């Protein structure tokens, strides 16, 4: 193996762990908390001091399963512990009203999306500024073991000038796991592809404009939409697109989920194993190629779920300690992701440029 290949293999897959940690209080105990937040914090050794959910029985059950000693009886009781980091894992319809109840001068992580619309997102952001709440979004894809090495590869100029970014997902997603989705006017982009949009932004910056169409599927007719095509305008040198289908119900053989990033000197391909046979998932994969090497395959040590959730919390804990200079997915950064998500909805509703066919 060449020195360059060894350098690629040594790229970090994890965010640094804080030297000291604050207790964590989780608001909301839905499926994502059970499947990702709590397994991640247990793996990292973070202290979850308590849970709160309007459905106390559900919170009690989860607390018992994970050995958490405290289940709060109200928001107010939970928010008395101001030295904690508050992890709000709530549906978008409930986020604004809960942020209105948050005390001042705290640290908080919000589940995506930032409310039901850009308007709500801006209200939440304004409230955080007024209350001096240090807030970030749980855009954990940025912290995935297959994504962190890619950032480092870009920083080290292993890929050169970026010219291609494609997100391709063709899977079967069990939407029935999240009953609240049936109540939403938009589903696919605000609840799923928002992760890819945020990741695209973190690599290429904000696009100049976009085209997006999200559509329904006859087999999942109770959802507003579940498939998306999108093109992002980054000028005449970069091609960037998403092709997302959650309704491939014809077996595993031709399902796939990957992100492909290419530059003038190299390329990276990331396989999103979590999405294959969700929520069980399959192994994730990362390969990088640069000048004078073949494709270098990584030995990936973790998964998007739960390991990337460790990264978000580790960044927040380190920021609170003064060990990290900034919150990677701060609310001020994340509002631009919400702006793009909002524009995707507007674009989809507009139907695109009409074609003038001959008579």
| Joined tokens for residue 251 | 């077996």
Cβ 115 vs Cβ 121: under 8 Å: yes
Distance in angstroms between the alpha carbons of the first and the last residue of the chain? 64
How do residues 10-50 score in pLDDT, each as one tens digit? 999 999 999 999 999 999 999 899 999 999 999 999 999 99
CATH superfamily of 24-138: NAD(P)-binding Rossmann-like Domain (3.40.50.720)
- What local confidence, expressed as pLDDT, does residue 246 receive? 98
Write the CATH number of the domain with boundaries 142-310: 3.30.360.10
Mean pLDDT of 141-145: 98
60/313 Cα distance (integer angstroms): 23
CA distances from 124 to 180, 202, 345, 358 (A): 21, 22, 20, 49
How do residues 80-103 score in pLDDT, each as one tens digit? 999 999 999 999 999 999 999 999
Band (192; pLDDT cuts 50, 70, 90): very high
- What local confidence, expressed as pLDDT, does residue 53 receive? 96
Number of separate helices (H) and strands (E) present in the chain: 12, 13
Report whether pLDDT(280) > 90.
no
35/281 Cα distance (integer angstroms): 12
- What local confidence, expressed as pLDDT, does residue 165 receive? 98
Band (186; pLDDT cuts 50, 70, 90): very high
Report whether pLDDT(320) > 90.
yes
Mean pLDDT of 141-152: 98
CB atoms within 10 A of CB 152: 17
How do residues 216-253 score in pLDDT, each as one tens digit? 999 999 999 999 999 999 999 999 999 999 999 999 99
Cβ 43 vs Cβ 307: under 8 Å: yes
Backbone angle region of 235, left / alpha / beta, with phi > 0 → left and psi within -120 to 50 → alpha = left
Q: Mean pLDDT in the chain?
A: 96
Band (146; pLDDT cuts 50, 70, 90): very high
- What local confidence, expressed as pLDDT, does residue 341 receive? 97
Domain map (residue ranges) of the chain? 24-138, 142-310
Band (354; pLDDT cuts 50, 70, 90): confident
Cβ 165 vs Cβ 259: under 8 Å: yes
Report whether pLDDT(121) > 80.
yes
- What local confidence, expressed as pLDDT, does residue 279 receive? 82
Cβ 64 vs Cβ 38: under 8 Å: no
Mean pLDDT of 264-289: 95
Report whether pLDDT(259) > 90.
yes
DSSP characters for 219-234? GGTTSS--EEEEEEE-
- What local confidence, expressed as pLDDT, does residue 8 receive? 94
Give the three-state DSSP class for 165. strand
Peptide bond into 336 cis (omega under 30): no
């Amino acid at each position: 193996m060449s020195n360059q290949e060894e350098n690629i293999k040594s790229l970090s897959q994890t965010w640094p762990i804080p030297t000291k940690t604050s207790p964590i209080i989780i608001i909301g105990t839905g499926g994502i908390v059970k499947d990702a937040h709590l397994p991640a914090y247990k793996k990292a050794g973070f202290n979850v001091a308590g849970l709160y959910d309007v459905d106390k029985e559900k919170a009690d059950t989860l607390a018992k399963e994970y050995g958490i000693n405290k289940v709060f009886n109200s928001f107010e009781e939970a928010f008395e512990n101001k030295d904690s980091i508050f992890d709000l894992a709530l549906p978008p319809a409930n986020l604004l009203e809960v942020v209105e109840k948050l005390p001042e001068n705290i640290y908080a992580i919000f589940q995506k999306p930032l409310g039901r619309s850009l308007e709500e997102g801006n209200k939440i952001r304004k409230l955080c500024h007024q209350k001096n709440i240090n807030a970030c979004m749980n855009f954990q894809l940025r912290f995935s073991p297959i994504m962190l090495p890619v950032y480092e590869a870009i920083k080290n100029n292993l890929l050169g000038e970026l010219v291609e970014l494609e997100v391709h997902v063709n899977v079967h997603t069990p939407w029935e796991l999240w009953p609240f989705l049936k109540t939403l006017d938009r589903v696919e982009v605000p609840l799923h592809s928002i992760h890819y949009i945020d990741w695209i932004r973190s690599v290429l910056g904000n696009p100049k404009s976009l085209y997006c169409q999200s559509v329904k599927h006859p087999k999942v007719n109770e959802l507003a939409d579940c498939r998306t095509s999108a093109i992002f305008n980054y000028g005449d040198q970069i091609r960037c697109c998403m092709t997302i289908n959650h309704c491939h119900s014809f077996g595993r053989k031709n399902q796939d989920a990957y992100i492909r990033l290419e530059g003038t000197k190299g390329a990276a391909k990331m396989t999103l194993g979590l999405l294959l046979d969700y929520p069980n998932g399959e192994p994730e994969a990362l390969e990088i190629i640069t000048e004078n090497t073949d494709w270098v395959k990584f030995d990936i040590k973790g998964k998007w779920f739960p390991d990337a959730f460790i990264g978000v919390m580790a960044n927040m804990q380190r920021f609170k300690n003064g060990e990290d200079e900034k919150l990677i997915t701060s609310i001020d950064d994340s509002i631009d992701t919400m702006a793009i998500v909002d524009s995707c909805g507007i674009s989809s509703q507009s139907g695109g440029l009409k074609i003038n066919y001959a008579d």
